[in-house]
Amino acid sequence: MSNRERPAGPPRPSASGLTAFELAVLRAVEDAGGGAGDAHVPTAEVLARLEAATGVGPRYAYPLLCDLTRPWVRHVPLLDGYGNLGSISHDEPAEPRYTAVRLAPAGELALTSERGEVGPLPLELIEGSLHRGGDLPPFDPATTIRALLVGTSGSGLPTTPTGTITRDPNGAFERGGRTHERYLLGSVIRTGPEPGELVLTSPSYRIGTDLIVDHLKDRMENENRNARADAEEHPWRPLRPLVPGRPSPVRDVLDVSDRWSTMIKIRLADGVDPVDGLDWVRGVWPVTTYADCASYEHVYDRFVSWRGLDQSGLHALESLLTRGSAGDEDDPGD
């Protein structure tokens, strides 16, 4: 099908590209006095306003509000948080009464777009829907904006806020009447400063570092235990395998991550080739996971829907991202 024959594309969820409930959260923050650059406002007050406006209680609303602050969940956070709103290790956030929020510049711009004071924003293209369990992959913000400004049909391969994302070589498949493509979500791993050391610096998307560490240690301990069992008599394993088990190529896993950054040190056993060690680490779930996403054709149609739209919102978002503005670290009472 030629470009001219293609449909106009699916309808956009809103002028800003946000869902109705995401917009309701932003409006609740704004109504509480938490504009970008203003003092943070108590999260409990925001949640109370949100429940009054939507009927959605804090237990459902608070996790989404927290996600809107997290740069490891969204390319462009919409809220600026104060206090413990969770970590990349998947630590639980503090109770709402101990945290505060305000609009991030991008959140304020989204509401400006909704009021028609600036053109539409491509937040649904940039963020996709993987972060909320959907099947639309996210894309790099700057690349997406440039593609829309020049009218191209896509912004290259998907890009996740953490880790890596690559197409599975097995190709597309049909499910639920729609074509999907499987993507591999990987972790960023490099050679460490010490001999025989690998360092995982960015986990696969939406995977906590604690889960990665637990599974690496479990795999390491199970392989070492099985290797010992093959060399000894054990009442629970009376028959030895024809091929003795090999000990794990990893001798230790140490998590030195903090709230905002990831560093998992993986120390290889003596004599292990780093390439073999890297292959072993990448083969452990959830160091590498996968996601089934909408096909490129579907994503293409979403880019087509932007043709002929007002580009002032694109220019405003591009300017905001270029400045790198993310709000100041003020106290709730400033």
Each residue's pLDDT tens digit in the chain (334 positions)?
Answer: 344 444 444 567 899 999 999 999 999 999 999 999 999 999 999 999 999 999 999 999 999 999 999 999 999 999 999 999 999 888 899 999 999 999 999 999 999 999 999 999 999 999 999 999 999 999 999 999 999 999 877 778 899 999 999 998 888 898 888 889 999 999 999 999 999 999 999 999 999 999 999 999 999 999 999 888 766 655 555 554 445 578 999 999 999 998 778 999 999 999 999 999 999 999 999 999 999 999 888 888 888 888 889 999 999 999 999 987 444 444 444 4
Q: What is the pTM of this model?
A: 0.87
Contact between 102 and 80 under an 8 Å Cβ cutoff? The reply is: yes
pLDDT score of 6: 41
Q: pLDDT value at position 90?
A: 84
Q: What is the sign of the dihedral through the CA atoms of 140, 146, 149 and 151?
A: negative
Q: Backbone dihedral region of 95: left (phi > 0), alpha (psi from -120 to 50 degrees) or beta?
A: beta
Cα separation values, 24 from 16, 40, 51, 124, 328, Å: 13, 18, 10, 16, 23
Amino acid sitting at position 10: P
Residue with tokens 């459902």: 60
Give all domains of the chain, ordered by start, each with its CATH number. 20-161+306-323 (3.90.199.10), 188-286 (3.30.1360.40)
Q: How far apart are CA 305 and CA 7, in angstroms?
A: 8
The residue with tokens 């504009």 is 35
Measured from the Cβ of residue 225, the count of other Cβ atoms closer than 10 Å reads 15
Q: Is 186 helix (H, G, I), strand (E, B) or coil?
A: strand
CB-based burial, 189-221: b 16+ in 10 Å, e otherwise = beebeeebbbbbbbbbbbbbbbbbbebbbebbe
Closest CA to 44 of 98, 108, 104: 98
- What residue type is assigned to position 93 of the chain? P
Q: Answer for the pair 166, 259: CB distance below 8 angstroms, yes or no.
A: no
The answer to whether the beta carbons of residues 158 and 53 sit under 8 Å apart is no
Tell me: cis bond preceding 11? Omega within 30 of 0 counts. no
List b or e across 269-303, with b for residues whose CB sees 16 or more CB atoms inside 10 angstroms.
eeebeeeebbebbeebebbbbebebbbbebbebbb
CA distance 121 to 109: 9
**Collapsing DSSP states into helix, strand and coil, what is residue 199?**
strand
Q: If you search the block for the tokens 């293609």, which residue do you land on?
A: 6
